[in-house]
Amino acid sequence: MTTGYHPLVKRLLDGELSLAELPPELRAEGEEALRLAGAADRAPVALSPALEERVMATVRRHAASPGNRAWRWLNTPRDVELRLRVRPWTVWAGALAAAAALALLLGRPAPEPVPGAQARGDMRDSVLVRFVLYAPGAHRVAVAGTFNQWDRAAAPLVPAGTSGVWTTTLALPAGQHQYAFVVDGARWVVDPGAPAVNDGFGRRNSIVAVTAPGAHL
């Protein structure tokens, strides 16, 4: 029956001690342990040269399938240029109205599709969704998700006074979207007021489901 290694020998294997730092009575055990670690094969492993072509053939097939094409079309963010001709007083009136509406909506933590608020023209099929995060002490907050290609800079939230509440409203197409908040450009935070799912890679994403205008959630 072989016993386990002495804790100091384990530290030797971890690279925290040298053989010379072991007590003399542990040197032989240390040398044996180093033979074990030295047996680790660090040689590169070469895969078949055909792997790249196999991957690309599969990828091309997936990219060409109607389902994938539809999903990518829905999921790929696009730049939309809006040109407005306005009188200055209407801008101020609009800003005041938006601020009043925002103040009324601030009490609800989860992002929520705003019924009947869909934009006109090119945004006819989108629904305005408000994102709110309570993050006192944050210097910057943004929301990134499948709707903006997880771009941390695309959708910044603005602070609502000094209350620590950050908010923004985005026009999202109907469908289910995954997202998370990005605090100070680095820290990913799930929305505490929304359901979340595992993204399959050990992290959590929040979920918002946007229904077509006129439908009920």
Binding site for other proteins (CB under 8 A): 2, 4-5, 7, 10, 13-14, 32-33, 35-37, 39-48, 51-52, 54-56, 58-60, 62-63, 68, 71-72, 75-76, 144, 146, 149-150, 152, 178, 180, 188, 199-203
Nearest approach in angstroms of CB 42 to other proteins is: 6
Which C-beta is closer to other proteins: that of 35 or that of 87? 35
| Structural tokens at position 210 | 């946007």
Nearest approach in angstroms of CB 103 to other proteins is: 32
Nearest approach in angstroms of CB 139 to other proteins is: 19
Amino acid code (one letter) for 165: V
Which C-beta is closer to other proteins: that of 42 or that of 87? 42
Which C-beta is closer to other proteins: that of 30 or that of 165? 30
Nearest approach in angstroms of CB 11 to other proteins is: 9
Question: Rounded to 5 degrees, what angle do the CA atoms 139, 137, 155 make?
Answer: 40
| Structural tokens at position 9 | 């020998």
Query: DSSP secondary structure string, 18-35?
Result: -GGGS-GGGHHHHHHHHH
Interaxial angle between packed helices 51-64 and 66-75, expressed in degrees from 0 to 180 and rounded to the nearest 10: 80
Between CA 111 and CA 132 the distance in angstroms is: 6
Residues 6+ apart with CB under 8 A from 115: 127, 213
Amino acid code (one letter) for 9: V
Which C-beta is closer to other proteins: that of 24 or that of 200? 200
Which C-beta is closer to other proteins: that of 48 or that of 162? 48
